[in-house]
C-alpha cells in the first residue's frame, strides 16, 4: 500500500481541491492532516474569532471525510516536525500541499522540504488552490507582478480556469494514525457574538443562496452599507472552505452584470495575493514609500482608542468599527472609510489599523488586509494615493437613510433624518441628551495635516 499525506492549510474543503485530488491519485491511502501550527499562534494570528471559525471548518472537513470512509488527523506543533513524524509513522512517499503567498508560507515550504528530503519523501506543491489564478501565472512584460489592477484584471480574465473538481467519493486512511481531538468552537473564549458558522457546507450553501437571491443586484447594491448586499463569503474564502476558482466559474455560469462585478472583486483578492507573493515585505513595509512621518502611537493614543472602540464622534466610522467588534466582519465600504479616517484624517500609521483589523476579522488575511490597508493609506497600489474619503460625504452617499448608523450606534437610533450623520447639528438640548461623543477631530484640520505631511499644501 502506498501512502501520501495531504497537508491541509487554507484549503479546508473537499470540492475543487487539487491538493486532495492529487494525493488521492498518487497513493492507495492518504493521511488528511491538519497541523495546528505553533508558528501561526506565535505570530498572533490564532485570534478567538478565527480560531472559532477554524474549529467549525475542521469539524465539517472531518465529517465530510468520514462520510467517504476517511477522517481528519489533527496534530499540534511545528508543521515540518509534525509532518515528518506522520511520514515516519506511515511510510508516506509524498506530501501534498497548496502553494502559499506569504513569507511565512515560503519559509514553511522550505522547512518542509528540508525535513522531508532526507527521508526520501517528496513534497508536491499545487498551484491555484488558494486563489483562482496562481500568483505569477500572469505577469506584465519586464516585471514579476502587476502593480495596477486594471491591466491585471484584463489578463486574469483571459486565463483559463480548471473546471471545478468534484468532491472525492471514497477516501482510505491507513489504520493506527493517531489524532488529537478536534478543536471545538464552544471551547474558544471571547468570540464576537456575530461570528458566523464556518465549514464547507455552510460556505457552499451561503454561495448558492446568494447566487440565487443576491448576485443579480450586486453591482448596484454592493456599496449600500445598510443593504448589506455583499456575499459575506470572505471568511470561507480565507480558510478555503470554498474555492475561489469554483466561485468564479459558477458566477460566470450565471452571467450578468452582478456576476461580472462579483468576479471582479474575487480578482481583487487574487491581485493582492500576487503582489504579496512577489513582495513578502509588503506585509509590514510600505509598498511605496511616501515618506510619511506618522503620528506616534503614544501621541495619538486617545484617537486610536476612540477609533478602535467606535467613539470617534463620526457616526458612520463608529458604526463600521462597532460592526467589526460585534461580527468580526465589516462591510467593504466601512473598511474603506474607517481605514481612510485612521490613516489620513487622524494620520496614524496603517500598520496600527491593520493590526486591529487582523485581531478581529474572521476573514483577516495578510494579503488582503495589509495590501488593502496600504491601498487606502496611499502607500500601496492605489493610483490616487492622496485621496481622502470624507466620512460625511461617504455616509450621505452610502448610508443615505442612516440605517447602518442606527443599527450599529444605538445612541443614535432615535435621531431622525440626516442629523444621524451629523449629530452636532442637532439643537443643543437634543444633542446633549444623546450619550454620543463629540468628534475627535475637525475634518478640515485632519485634511490640512495630511496634505502638509504629503507635501501637497
Ligand atoms: P463581496 O463583495 O461579496 O466580494 C466577494 C469576495 O471578493 C470577497 O469575499 C473577497 O474575497 C473578495 N474581495 C472583495 N473586495 C475585495 C478587496 N477590496 N480586496 C480583496 N478582495 C476582495 N478582505 C479579506 O478577505 N480579508 C481581509 O483581511 C481584508 N481586509 C481589508 C482591509 C481593508 C482596510 C479594506 C479596505 C478591505 C479589506 N478586505 C479584506 C477586502 C474586502 O473588504 C472584503 O473582502 C469584503 O468586504 C468581504 O465581504 P464579502 O465577502 O461580502 O465581499
8 Å CB contact between 194 and 326: yes
Asked whether residue 173 is domain-assigned, the answer is no
Confidence grade of residue 457 (pLDDT, cut at 50, 70, 90): confident
Q: Of ligand 1's atoms, which has the minimum distance to the CA of residue 271?
A: 20
For residue 134, pLDDT beyond 80: yes
Residue 63 lies in a domain: yes
Closest residue by Cα to atom 13, ligand 1, is 265
Q: Determine the structural domain holding residue 16 and report its residue range.
A: 3-128
Same domain, 306 and 449: yes
Residue 181 domain flag: no
% pLDDT > 90, the chain: 97
- Tell me: do 221 and 351 sit in the same domain: no
Report pLDDT for 39: 86
Please, are residues 251 and 262 in contact by the beta-carbon 8 Å criterion? yes
**Statement to judge: residues 306 and 221 lie in one domain:** no
Q: Report the pLDDT value the prediction gives residue 40, as an integer from 0 to 100.
A: 86
Asked if residue 267 is part of any domain, the answer here is yes
Please, which residues bridge with residue 28 across strands? none
- Give the pocket of ligand 1 (CB within 6 Å): 222, 230-234, 237-238, 262, 265-266, 268-269, 272, 332, 335-336, 339, 357, 361, 363-365, 368-369, 372-373, 376
What's the pLDDT at 453? 95
Report residue 232 as a C-alpha cell: 459575506
Residues 271 and 136 in one domain: yes
pTM of the model: 0.98
- Same domain for 234 and 351, yes or no, is no
Do 114 and 146 share a structural domain? no
Is residue 86 situated within a structural domain?
Answer: yes
For Cα atoms 374, 376, 380, give the angle at the middle one, nearest 5 degrees: 35
Residue to substitute in 210, 213, 368, 381 for testing ligand 1 pocket (most ligand atoms within 8 angstroms of CB): 368
Q: Where are the beta strands (DSSP E) in 57-93?
A: 73-77
d(CA 422, CA 184) in angstroms, rounded, equals 44
Over residues 365-387, the mean pLDDT reads: 96
Q: Is residue 62 in some structural domain?
A: yes
Closest CA to 455 of 385, 382, 408: 385
The residue whose CA is least distant from atom 20 of ligand 1 is 269
- Mean confidence (pLDDT) of the chain: 97
Q: Is 137 in the same domain as 274?
A: yes
Looking at the fold, whether 238 and 339 belong to one and the same domain comes out as: no
Q: What is the mean pLDDT of residues 399-419?
A: 97
Residue ending a domain, choose from 278, 311, 337: 278
Report the relative pairing of strands 94-98 and 3-8 from DSSP bridges.
Answer: parallel
Q: Identify the burial level of 170 via C-beta atoms within 10 angstroms of its C-beta, where 0-12 means exposed, 13-18 middle and 19 or more buried.
A: exposed
Is 292 among the domain residues? no
- Percentage, residues of the chain above pLDDT 70: 100
Tens digits of per-residue pLDDT, 335-375? Answer: 999 999 999 999 999 999 999 999 999 999 999 999 999 99
User: Are 116 and 221 in a shared domain?
Assistant: no
Q: What span, in angstroms and rounded, lies between the C-alpha atoms of 381 and 374?
A: 7
**Structural domains counted in the chain:** 3
Whether 101 has a pLDDT exceeding 90, the answer reads yes
What residues are paired with 22 via a beta bridge? Answer: none
* Atom of ligand 1 minimally distant from the CA of 235: 25
pLDDT at 41: 85
- pLDDT the model gives residue 64: 98
Q: How confident is the model over 204-216, as a mean pLDDT?
A: 98
Distance CA(301)–CA(306), nearest Å, equals 9
Is the domain of 251 the same as that of 331?
A: no
Residue to mutate (ligand 1; options 363, 364, 377; most atoms within 8 A of CB): 363
Amino acid at each position: 500500500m502506498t501512502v501520501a499525506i495531504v497537508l491541509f492549510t487554507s484549503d479546508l474543503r473537499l470540492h475543487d481541491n487539487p491538493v486532495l485530488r492529487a494525493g488521492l491519485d498518487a497513493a492507495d491511502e492518504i493521511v488528511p492532516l491538519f497541523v495546528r501550527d505553533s508558528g501561526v499562534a506565535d505570530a498572533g494570528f490564532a485570534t478567538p474569532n478565527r480560531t472559532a471559525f477554524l474549529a467549525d471548518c475542521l469539524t465539517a472537513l472531518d465529517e465530510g471525510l468520514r462520510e467517504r470512509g476517511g477522517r481528519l488527523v489533527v496534530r499540534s506543533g511545528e508543521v515540518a516536525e509534525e509532518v515528518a513524524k506522520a511520514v515516519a509513522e506511515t511510510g508516506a512517499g509524498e506530501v501534498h500541499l497548496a502553494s502559499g503567498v506569504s513569507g511565512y508560507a515560503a519559509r514553511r515550504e522550505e522547512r518542509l522540504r528540508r525535513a522531508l528530503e532526507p527521508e526520501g519523501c517528496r513534497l508536491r506543491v499545487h498551484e491555484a488552490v488558494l486563489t483562482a489564478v496562481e500568483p505569477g501565472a500572469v505577469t506584465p512584460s519586464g516585471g514579476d507582478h502587476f502593480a495596477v489592477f486594471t491591466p491585471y484584471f484584463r489578463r486574469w480574465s483571459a486565463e483559463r480556469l480548471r473546471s471545478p473538481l468534484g468532491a472525492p467519493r471514497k477516501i482510505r486512511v491507513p489504520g493506527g494514525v493517531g489524532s488529537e481531538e478536534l478543536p471545538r468552537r464552544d471551547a474558544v473564549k471571547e468570540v464576537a457574538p456575530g461570528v458566523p458558522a464556518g465549514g464547507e457546507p455552510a460556505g457552499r450553501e451561503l454561495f448558492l443562496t446568494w447566487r440565487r437571491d443576491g448576485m443579480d443586484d450586486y453591482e448596484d447594491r454592493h456599496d449600500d452599507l445598510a443593504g448589506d448586499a455583499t456575499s459575506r463569503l470572505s471568511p470561507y474564502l480565507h480558510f478555503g472552505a470554498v474555492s475561489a476558482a469554483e466561485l468564479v466559474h459558477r458566477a460566470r455560469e450565471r452571467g450578468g452584470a452582478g456576476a461580472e462585478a462579483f468576479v471582479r472583486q474575487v480578482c481583487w483578492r487574487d491581485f493582492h495575493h500576487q503582489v504579496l507573493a512577489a513582495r513578502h515585505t509588503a506585509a509590514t513595509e510600505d509598498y511605496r514609500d511616501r515618506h510619511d512621518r506618522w503620528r506616534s502611537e503614544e501621541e495619538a493614543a486617545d484617537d486610536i482608542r476612540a477609533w478602535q472602540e467606535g467613539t470617534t464622534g463620526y457616526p458612520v466610522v463608529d458604526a463600521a468599527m462597532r460592526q467589526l467588534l460585534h461580527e468580526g466582519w465589516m462591510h467593504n465600504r466601512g473598511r474603506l472609510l474607517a481605514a481612510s479616517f485612521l490613516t489620513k484624517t487622524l494620520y496614524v500609521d496603517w500598520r496600527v489599523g491593520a493590526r486591529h483589523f487582523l485581531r478581529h476579522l474572521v476573514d483577516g488575511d495578510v494579503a488582503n488586509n495589509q495590501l488593502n490597508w496600504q491601498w487606502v493609506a496611499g502607500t500601496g497600489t492605489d493610483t490616487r494615493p492622496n485621496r481622502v474619503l470624507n466620512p460625511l460625504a461617504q455616509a450621505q452617499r452610502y448610508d443615505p437613510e442612516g440605517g447602518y448608523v442606527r443599527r450599529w450606534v444605538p445612541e443614535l437610533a432615535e435621531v431622525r433624518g440626516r442629523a444621524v450623520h451629523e449629530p452636532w447639528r442637532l439643537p443643543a438640548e437634543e444633542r446633549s441628551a444623546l450619550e454620543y461623543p463629540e468628534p475627535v477631530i475637525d475634518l478640515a484640520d485632519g485634511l490640512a495635516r495630511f496634505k502638509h505631511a504629503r507635501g501637497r499644501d
